[in-house]
């Protein structure tokens, strides 16, 4: 129903000089969508209050409500072109009045878990990139045609928004930073099996895909086909306010993550805009810990020396610091599923060996899923998923080598069917041609090598997809640039 509207919005943005990438398209669509959502939400609440004879205290002052400036209506309920701002007047209002007013909510809010605070955070992190008030007017009229009034409409909008995030992830070499393939996330959740009442955490949330999929799993069932009627009012309140927690360092993913969670039905997402790695692990208390952790921390990042001081095992590799963060934040008996580069399993440096030893001793690492090249478009690295429970040492590790029987790429991505056999076999740790078990006693205590070595198949170097090779070259180029910049800084 709304798919063509999204295409038309992209067409408008394509003509704008300030919007040159899929990232810009998603960012600009996000702030307009958010304000339209907010207007529909306030309208709905005002109607409900009126039915019981109460007045509703609007969050947004009238001059800055969507229905006042973005889409004013006449007495007949039709768009009022006579009063609608456009051209230079519209740009002046948005940049000079609207954004400063919305940014001020961060200071006026009663706390960070309120929708008022989220409004202030969002509009402090992004800016209007429209230079033409006529293009902005076109985009606003298109957005106004979208509606958040029914669950079905919200559901469709959430799917369309997910598609925008996927396109954004596929557009650049940092695709994995913004988009974790949803079939992989769904399989991870089906293995971990979160329950209502458990607190779920992602410290590198990106576009909040893990939390959105976990919400849909708990609300609509593993197949996503339920209607949520099995949940009580209390359950729904727990889902809304005390289930999903996230942190995100970068501004754009933070904003997109909030919008994505809102579209999935979480009105005031508990996403904090911060670098999780700046927290000192020794300060974490029991009340801070979580039952379930689902995450795909950034690949290949480097952290400064002062950040590394917060961790018992010092390393510049961002993903390895995140893994320590996750282990520390997990409750005893808590479950985690973490995406990480496959080189973590065999790196011979002291930090990698110490971290693997720590993982095996403090957690039961029960499953390693080996993902094929091309699972993450644009990432240029092979990945594995670590599944572990905290509080008991590792006895046995069940490995599964995912083989979809084809090369993965933009036109042929991972799908849910590719992971069905993994999810089915993992439930009973069943062995097969692609699945085997390793006893922890057989792991070399010095190297702590956890490499994926399928005993059922002869070791043969597979021919790699050209797209994967190109992505890897781009990733290595970027890494080289970072190293050279560091050397220049020392000169």
Mean pLDDT of 150-170: 78
Is residue 199 in some structural domain? yes
Same structural domain for residues 393 and 436? yes
Rounded to the nearest angstrom, the gap between the alpha carbon of residue 381 and the centroid of all alpha carbons in its chain is: 19
Same structural domain for residues 356 and 408? yes
Is residue 223 in some structural domain? yes
Report how far residue 435's alpha carbon sits from residue 330's, in angstroms, rounded to the nearest whole number.
Answer: 27
The DSSP line for 450-477 is -----TTS----PPPPHHHHHHHHHHHH
Same structural domain for residues 106 and 236? no
Lowest-confidence segment of 1-5, 41-45, 475-479 by average pLDDT: 475-479
Same structural domain for residues 27 and 106? yes
Same structural domain for residues 233 and 276? yes
Same structural domain for residues 472 and 389? no
Is residue 156 in some structural domain? no
Q: Which domain holds residue 485?
A: 464-490
Report how far residue 349's alpha carbon sits from residue 114's, in angstroms, rounded to the nearest whole number.
Answer: 44
Is residue 350 in some structural domain? yes
Same structural domain for residues 221 and 296? yes
Same structural domain for residues 180 and 123? no
| Count of structural domains, the chain | 3
Rounded to the nearest angstrom, the gap between the alpha carbon of residue 489 and the centroid of all alpha carbons in its chain is: 33
Same structural domain for residues 135 and 196? no
Question: 3-class DSSP state for residue 395?
Answer: coil
Cβ atoms of residues 164 and 26 within 8 Å? yes
For 328-376, the pLDDT digits (tens) are 999 999 999 999 999 999 998 999 999 999 999 999 999 999 999 888 7
Indicate which CATH number applies to the domain containing 312: 3.40.50.150
Same structural domain for residues 321 and 413? yes
Burial class (CB in 10 A: 0-12, 13-18, 19+), 244: buried
Residue that terminates a domain, selected from 149, 165, 193: 149
Report how far residue 85's alpha carbon sits from residue 101's, in angstroms, rounded to the nearest whole number.
Answer: 18
Give me 367's structure tokens. Answer: 């499953």
Same structural domain for residues 236 and 332? yes
Residue with structure tokens 């390693």? 368
Same structural domain for residues 120 and 267? no
Indicate which CATH number applies to the domain containing 3: 1.20.1260.30
Is residue 263 in some structural domain? yes
Is residue 233 in some structural domain? yes
For 99-150, the pLDDT digits (tens) are 999 999 988 888 877 888 889 988 998 899 999 999 999 999 999 988 877 7
Phi, psi values for residue 349, rounded to 5°: -70, 160
For 299-322, the pLDDT digits (tens) are 766 777 888 888 999 988 899 999
Burial class (CB in 10 A: 0-12, 13-18, 19+), 361: exposed
Report how far residue 354's alpha carbon sits from residue 327's, in angstroms, rounded to the nearest whole number.
Answer: 14
């Amino acid at each position: 129903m709304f798919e063509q509207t999204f295409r038309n919005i992209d067409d408008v943005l394509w003509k704008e000089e300030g919007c040159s990438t899929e990232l810009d398209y998603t960012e600009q669509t996000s702030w307009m969508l958010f304000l339209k959502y907010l207007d529909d939400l306030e309208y709905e609440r005002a109607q409900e209050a009126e039915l019981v004879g109460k007045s509703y205290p609007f969050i947004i002052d009238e001059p800055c409500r969507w229905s006042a400036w973005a889409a004013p209506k006449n007495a007949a309920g039709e768009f009022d072109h006579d009063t609608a701002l456009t051209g230079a007047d519209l740009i002046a209002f948005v940049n000079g009045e609207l954004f400063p007013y919305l940014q001020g909510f961060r200071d006026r809010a009663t706390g960070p878990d309120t929708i008022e605070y989220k409004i202030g955070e969002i509009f402090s992190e992004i800016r209007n990139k429209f230079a033409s008030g006529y293009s902005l007017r076109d985009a606003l009229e298109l957005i106004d045609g979208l509606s958040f009034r029914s669950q079905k409409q919200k559901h469709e909008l959430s799917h369309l928004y997910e598609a925008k995030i996927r396109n954004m992830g596929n557009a650049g070499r940092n695709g994995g930073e913004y988009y974790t393939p949803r079939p992989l996330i769904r399989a991870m959740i089906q293995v971990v099996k979160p329950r209502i009442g458990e607190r779920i955490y992602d410290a590198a949330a990106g576009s909040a895909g893990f939390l959105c999929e976990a919400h849909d799993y708990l609300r609509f069932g593993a197949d996503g086909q339920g209607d949520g009627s099995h949940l009580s009012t209390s359950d729904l309140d727990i889902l809304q306010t005390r289930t999903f927690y996230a942190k995100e360092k970068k501004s754009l993913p933070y904003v997109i993550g909030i919008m994505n969670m809102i579209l999935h039905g979480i009105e005031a997402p508990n996403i904090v805009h911060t670098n999780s790695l700046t927290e000192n692990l020794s300060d974490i208390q029991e009340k801070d810990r979580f039952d379930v952790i689902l995450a795909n921390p950034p690949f290949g990042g480097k952290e400064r020396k002062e950040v590394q001081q917060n961790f018992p095992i010092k390393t510049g590799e961002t993903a390895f610091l995140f893994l320590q963060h996750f282990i520390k934040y997990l409750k005893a008996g808590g479950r985690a599923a973490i995406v990480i580069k496959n080189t973590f399993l065999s790196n011979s440096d002291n930090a990698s060996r110490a971290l693997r030893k720590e993982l095996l001793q403090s957690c039961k690492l029960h499953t390693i899923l080996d993902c094929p090249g091309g699972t993450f478009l644009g990432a240029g690295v092979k990945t594995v998923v670590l599944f572990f429970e905290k509080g008991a040492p590792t006895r046995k590790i069940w490995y599964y080598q995912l083989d979809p029987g084809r090369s993965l790429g933009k036109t042929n991505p991972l799908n849910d069917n590719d992971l069905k056999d993994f999810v089915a076999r993992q439930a009973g740790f069943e062995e097969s041609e692609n699945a085997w078990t390793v006893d922890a006693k057989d792991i070399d205590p010095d190297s702590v090598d956890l490499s994926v070595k399928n005993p059922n198949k002869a070791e043969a170097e597979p021919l790699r997809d050209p797209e994967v090779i190109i992505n890897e070259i781009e990733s290595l180029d970027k890494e080289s640039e970072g190293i050279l910049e560091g050397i220049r800084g020392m000169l």
